[in-house]
């Protein structure tokens, strides 16, 4: 990811931040992602969790019962506007163990063997497949042996080869179902996305030494849940 890409993505997410929770909270697909992500993470008690693209920290704010006894939750987030909402929201929700890293996850530096669970929901499609691989390499070294990786993302789960334009149309229909198509395309059109296939992403994770399971949430949203082979 070049510095120009990072600055452009940061600016895009800063403008999306004020309306983000209202736009996404009610979506069925988002609720399904949340429910399955919680199940696949399992108990968070005493664990150190690293979240890539934490956004407004909605996953944690809405699920204090699940994450309230985590040892530490580290949220990596490019957009200062998203992160400001995360920090306030996490305090209001009662968390004392949230720390934030205002950076691109393509440039983070996390200590080796320091993390029990790496989570990411609906964020990694913002970087190229080559960048995904280097982020995965970085989190692999950050994870403790037997550590858990749960990544829910925009992924093509259909098995069909689709052009970038076709994928973008499917994505806005998935994430902006109530907005007229042309308006939704205009809202997101200038922003780059790199959606890969569910099996393709699962293979990238497996290549790094993980036992991998996959789940399909919808045609264009999938989950890769993996455990690092100790
Ligand atoms: C669709 S939102 C999802 C936010 C949150 N994970 C959720 O599920 O509510 C995508 C988030 O990823 C963040 N993001 C995109 N590219 C990033 C990068 N390279 N490094 C860190 N965060 C990034 C955006 O700023 C945005 O907050």
Dist. CA 37–CA 149, nearest whole Å: 10
Within 13 Å, how many C-alpha atoms sit on residue 100's CB side?
22
What pLDDT does residue 191 have? 75
176 located within any domain: no
Smallest CA separation from ligand 1 atom 10, residue: 123
18 located within any domain: yes
Give SS3 for 40.
Answer: helix
Domain that holds residue 206: 3-166+194-228
pLDDT along the chain (230 residues), means of 10: 89 93 88 97 98 98 97 98 98 97 95 97 95 96 96 95 88 85 80 90 96 96 93
What pLDDT does residue 113 have? 96
161 located within any domain: yes
**What atom of ligand 1 comes closest to residue 1's alpha carbon?**
19
User: How far, in Å, from the CA of 124 to the mean position of ligand 1?
Assistant: 8
88 located within any domain: yes
User: How far, in Å, from the CA of 107 to the mean position of ligand 1?
Assistant: 14
User: How far, in Å, from the CA of 9 to the mean position of ligand 1?
Assistant: 9
Number of structural domains in the chain: 1
Pick from 228, 93, 89: nearest CA to 150: 228
Pick from 95, 88, 87, 52: nearest CA to 70: 95
User: How far, in Å, from the CA of 161 to the mean position of ligand 1?
Assistant: 26
Identify the residues whose C-beta falls under 6 Å from ligand 1.
9, 13, 53-55, 58-59, 76-79, 82, 104-106, 121-123, 126-127
The CATH number of the domain holding residue 87 is: 3.40.50.150
157 located within any domain: yes
User: How far, in Å, from the CA of 100 to the mean position of ligand 1?
Assistant: 13
What pLDDT does residue 133 have? 97
143 located within any domain: yes
172 located within any domain: no
Query: What Rg, from alpha-carbon coordinates, does the chain have?
Result: 17
Ligand 1 pocket: which of 78, 150, 193 to mutate (most atoms within 8 A of CB): 78
**What atom of ligand 1 comes closest to residue 126's alpha carbon?**
16
Global confidence as pTM: 0.95
**What atom of ligand 1 comes closest to residue 76's alpha carbon?**
21
Dist. CA 162–CA 170, nearest whole Å: 10
- Listed in order, strand segments (DSSP E) in the chain are 48-52, 72-77, 98-102, 115-121, 143-156, 196-197, 210-218, 221-228
What pLDDT does residue 67 have? 98
Q: Cα–chain-centroid distance for residue 211?
A: 20
Pick from 222, 157, 167: nearest CA to 192: 167
174 located within any domain: no
What pLDDT does residue 81 have? 98
What pLDDT does residue 17 have? 96
Q: Cα–chain-centroid distance for residue 216?
A: 16
**What atom of ligand 1 comes closest to residue 24's alpha carbon?**
9
């Amino acid at each position: 990811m070049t510095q120009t890409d990072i600055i452009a993505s940061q600016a895009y997410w800063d403008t999306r931040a004020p309306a983000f929770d209202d736009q996404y909270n009610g979506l069925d697909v988002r609720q399904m992602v949340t429910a399955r992500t919680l199940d696949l993470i399992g108990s968070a008690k005493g664990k150190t969790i690293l979240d890539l693209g934490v956004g407004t920290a909605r996953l944690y704010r809405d699920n204090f019962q699940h994450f309230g006894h985590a040892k530490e939750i580290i949220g990596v987030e490019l957009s200062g506007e998203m992160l400001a909402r995360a920090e306030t929201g996490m305090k209001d929700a009662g968390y004392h163990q949230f720390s934030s890293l205002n950076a691109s996850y393509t440039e983070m530096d996390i200590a080796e063997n320091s993390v029990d669970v790496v989570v990411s929901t609906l964020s990694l499609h913002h970087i190229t497949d080559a960048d995904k691989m280097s982020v995965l390499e970085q989190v692999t070294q950050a994870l403790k042996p037997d550590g858990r990786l749960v990544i829910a993302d925009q992924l093509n789960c259909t098995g069909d080869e689709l052009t970038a334009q076709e994928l973008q149309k499917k994505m806005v229909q998935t994430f902006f179902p109530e907005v007229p198509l042309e308006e939704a395309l205009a809202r997101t059109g200038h922003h780059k996305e790199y959606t890969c296939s569910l099996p393709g992403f699962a293979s990238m994770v497996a290549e790094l030494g993980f036992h991998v399971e996959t789940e399909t949430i919808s045609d264009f949203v999938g989950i890769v849940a993996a455990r690092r082979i100790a």
